[in-house]
Amino acid sequence: MSQRPFVLDPLFRSVGTLNGVGPRTLKLYEKLTGGTKILDVVFHKPVGIIERKFVPDIMSAKIGETVCVRVIIDSHTPNERKSQPYRIRARDHSGFVELVFFHAHEDWISKIYPLGKEVMISGQMDDYKGGRQITHPDILDLEAPERTEIVYPLTAGLSNKMLRKTTLACLDQTPELHEWIDKTHLSRMGWPDWKTSILSLHNPTSEADLEPSNPAPTRLAYDEFLANQLTLAILRLKQRKLKGRSFTTHGPQRQKLLSSLPWPLTSFQTEALSEIDANMAAPHRMLRLLQGDVGSGKTIVAALAMMNVVDSGAQAALMAPTEILARQHIETLKPYLDAAGIPFAILTGRDKGKAREAIVEDIRTGTAKIIIGTHALFQEDIAFADLGLAVIDEQHRFGVHQRLQLSNKGMGTDVLVMTATPIPRTLTLTAYGDMEVSRIVGKPAGRKAIDTRLIPQDTLDDMISRLGEQIKKGVQIYWVCPLVEESEILDLAAAEERYLVLQQFYGDKVGLIHGRMKPKDKDAVMEKFAVGELSILVATTVIEVGVNVPNATIMVIEHAERFGLAQLHQLRGRVGRGDQQSYCFLVYANNLTQTARERLKILRETEDGFLIAEKDLELRGSGEVLGTKQSGLIEFRLANLTAHADLLISARHDSALILEKDPDLKTPRGQALRTLLYLFERDQAISYLRSG
**Tens-digit pLDDT profile for residues 350-376:** 888 898 899 999 999 999 999 999 878
For the 252-440 domain, the top CATH level (class) is alpha beta
Q: Is 301 exposed, middle or buried, given 0-12, 13-18 or 19+ CB atoms closer than 10 A?
A: buried
Q: Please tell me the predicted confidence (pLDDT) of residue 82.
A: 75
Beta bridge partners of 585: 453, 556
Q: Could you check whether 53-146 and 451-606 share the same CATH topology?
A: no
For residue 479, how many other CB atoms are within 10 A of its CB?
24
Q: Please tell me the predicted confidence (pLDDT) of residue 297.
A: 84
- The answer to whether residue 609 scores a pLDDT higher than 80 is no
- Mean pLDDT, range 137-153, rounded to an integer: 82
- The answer to whether residue 625 scores a pLDDT higher than 80 is no
Residue 631 pLDDT class (50, 70, 90 cuts): very low
Among 334-343, 415-424, 491-500, the range with the most confident prediction by mean pLDDT is 334-343
Q: From the centroid of its chain, how far is CA 620?
A: 11
Q: Please tell me the predicted confidence (pLDDT) of residue 416.
A: 92
Task: Let me know the angle formed at the C-alpha of 689 by 685 and 692, rounded to the nearest 5 degrees.
Answer: 130
Q: Please tell me the predicted confidence (pLDDT) of residue 628.
A: 37
- The answer to whether residue 398 scores a pLDDT higher than 70 is no
> Using an 8 Å Cβ cutoff, are 323 and 349 in contact?
yes
Residue 486 pLDDT class (50, 70, 90 cuts): very low
- Percent of the chain exceeding pLDDT 70 equals 91
Q: Which SS3 state, helix, strand or coil, does residue 545 take?
A: coil
Among 403-417, 478-492, 498-512, the range with the most confident prediction by mean pLDDT is 498-512
Q: Please tell me the predicted confidence (pLDDT) of residue 29.
A: 93
pLDDT digits (tens, 9 = 90+) for 159-200: 888 999 999 999 999 999 999 999 999 999 999 999 999 999
What phi, psi does 10 have (nearest 5°)?
A: -55, -35
> Using an 8 Å Cβ cutoff, are 658 and 671 in contact?
no
- The model's pTM is 0.68
Any idea of the CA torsion for 379, 385, 391, 394, to the nearest 10 degrees? -10
E-only strand ranges, 14-104: 48-51, 53-54, 66-77, 86-92, 95-101
- Lowest mean pLDDT segment, chosen from 51-65, 153-167, 605-619, 668-682: 605-619
What phi, psi does 63 have (nearest 5°)?
A: -65, 135
Beta bridge partners of 318: 372, 391
> Using an 8 Å Cβ cutoff, are 107 and 126 in contact?
no
> Using an 8 Å Cβ cutoff, are 305 and 438 in contact?
no
Mean pLDDT of the chain: 85
> Using an 8 Å Cβ cutoff, are 280 and 389 in contact?
yes
pLDDT digits (tens, 9 = 90+) for 487-528: 555 556 678 888 888 999 898 999 988 877 787 788 788 888
Q: Is 110 exposed, middle or buried, given 0-12, 13-18 or 19+ CB atoms closer than 10 A?
A: middle
Contacts with 155 (C-beta within 8 Å, 6 or more apart), sequence order: 28, 31, 32
- Lowest mean pLDDT segment, chosen from 299-313, 318-332, 602-616: 602-616
Q: What is the DSSP string of 201-233?
A: HH--SSGGGGSTTSHHHHHHHHHHHHHHHHHHH
For the 451-606 domain, the top CATH level (class) is alpha beta
Please report, for residues 55, 67, 176, 648, the alpha-carbon distance to residue 4 in angstroms, rounded to integers and kept in the order given: 52, 47, 15, 25
pLDDT greater at residue 375 or residue 471: 471
> Using an 8 Å Cβ cutoff, are 274 and 307 in contact?
no
Q: What is the DSSP letter of 482?
A: P
> 53-146, what's its fold?
OB fold (Dihydrolipoamide Acetyltransferase, E2P) (2.40.50)
pLDDT greater at residue 544 or residue 268: 268
Q: Please tell me the predicted confidence (pLDDT) of residue 691.
A: 55
Q: Please tell me the predicted confidence (pLDDT) of residue 363.
A: 92
Q: From the centroid of its chain, how far is CA 87?
A: 43
How many CA atoms within 13 Å lie on the side-chain side of 509?
A: 18
Write down the domain spans for the chain: 6-48+164-210, 53-146, 252-440, 451-606
pLDDT digits (tens, 9 = 90+) for 85-127: 899 999 999 999 999 998 777 888 888 899 999 999 988 999 9
Q: Please tell me the predicted confidence (pLDDT) of residue 1.
A: 43
- The answer to whether residue 623 scores a pLDDT higher than 60 is no
For residue 532, how many other CB atoms are within 10 A of its CB?
12
Residue 396 pLDDT class (50, 70, 90 cuts): low
Q: Please tell me the predicted confidence (pLDDT) of residue 405.
A: 65
Phi-psi category of 394—alpha, beta or left, where left has phi over 0 and alpha has psi -120 to 50?
left
Work out whether the CA dihedral 328, 330, 333, 334 comes out positive or negative.
Answer: negative
Q: Please tell me the predicted confidence (pLDDT) of residue 571.
A: 84
